[in-house]
Amino acid sequence: MKNKKGVSGVITAVIMIALVIVSVAIVWGVVNKMIEDETGSSSCMNLFEKITINGEYTCYNSSSNELRVAINVANVEIDELLLSISDVEGSKSFTIPTTDSNLREYSGEYGNLIKLPKKNAGLTYFVRNVKNSTSIKIAPIINEKQCEIVDSLKKIDDCKFLIH
């Protein structure tokens, strides 16, 4: 019995630690995948206050039934932006970039290609054929997935400005 050798306590401890680390990695991978599936892609997370409607430059011109909407984008990448406008007759939605006869950029023409604001920048859009706009909502689209509404504006002031 004196010549029998057993596994040392150090080797046993190392094997146990390795098994625990591997087990934690497997459980983390499964749980992380389940959470991502339930909450959607992580690319839509933390977008609040990064894509905003600038209320200072957003207003409604009642004499021309034209709405001016200023949108700012912080340091985030988005593929498209869903702009939804509600008025007394219903709601209209636009996916930017687009070419729509009722939407134009600040210095552009109706029907031209409408671009997204670049990172850390903003753009102003004009929407025609709206009557007494009641709300504006925006939601980004990333990797072909529409994210939640990241900003909305319910009080839209009347503005008097020159329209080209």
The letter for the amino acid at 77 is E
pTM, whole model, 2 decimals? 0.69
Give 79's DSSP letter.
Answer: S
Domain ranges of the chain: 9-39, 51-158
What pLDDT is stored for residue 88 in this prediction?
80
CATH of the structural domain 51-158, one choice from 1.20.1440.120, 2.60.40.10, 1.20.1250.20, 3.30.420.40: 2.60.40.10
What pLDDT is stored for residue 164 in this prediction?
38
What pLDDT is stored for residue 35 in this prediction?
76
- Residue 104 in tokens: 């134009």
What pLDDT is stored for residue 47 in this prediction?
84
What pLDDT is stored for residue 69 in this prediction?
94
Q: Which residues pair with 52 in a beta bridge?
A: 72
Closest by CA to 94, choosing from 119, 72, 118, 116, is 116
What pLDDT is stored for residue 6 in this prediction?
62
How many CA atoms does the CB half-sphere of 110 hold within 13 Å?
Answer: 10
- Residue 126 in tokens: 């004009």
CB 92 within 8 A of CB 72: no
Mean pLDDT per 10-residue interval, the chain, length 164 residues? 66 92 95 73 76 92 87 92 89 91 91 92 91 89 90 86 43
Distance CA 17, CA 37 (A): 30
Other C-beta atoms closer than 10 Å to the C-beta of 94 total 18
Which helix (H) or strand (E) segment holds residue 15: the answer is: helix 9-39
What pLDDT is stored for residue 28 in this prediction?
94
CB 48 within 8 A of CB 144: no
C-alpha distances in Å from residue 22, one per residue of 7, 8, 14, 25, 36: 21, 22, 12, 5, 21
Pairing of strands 157-158, 145-146: unpaired
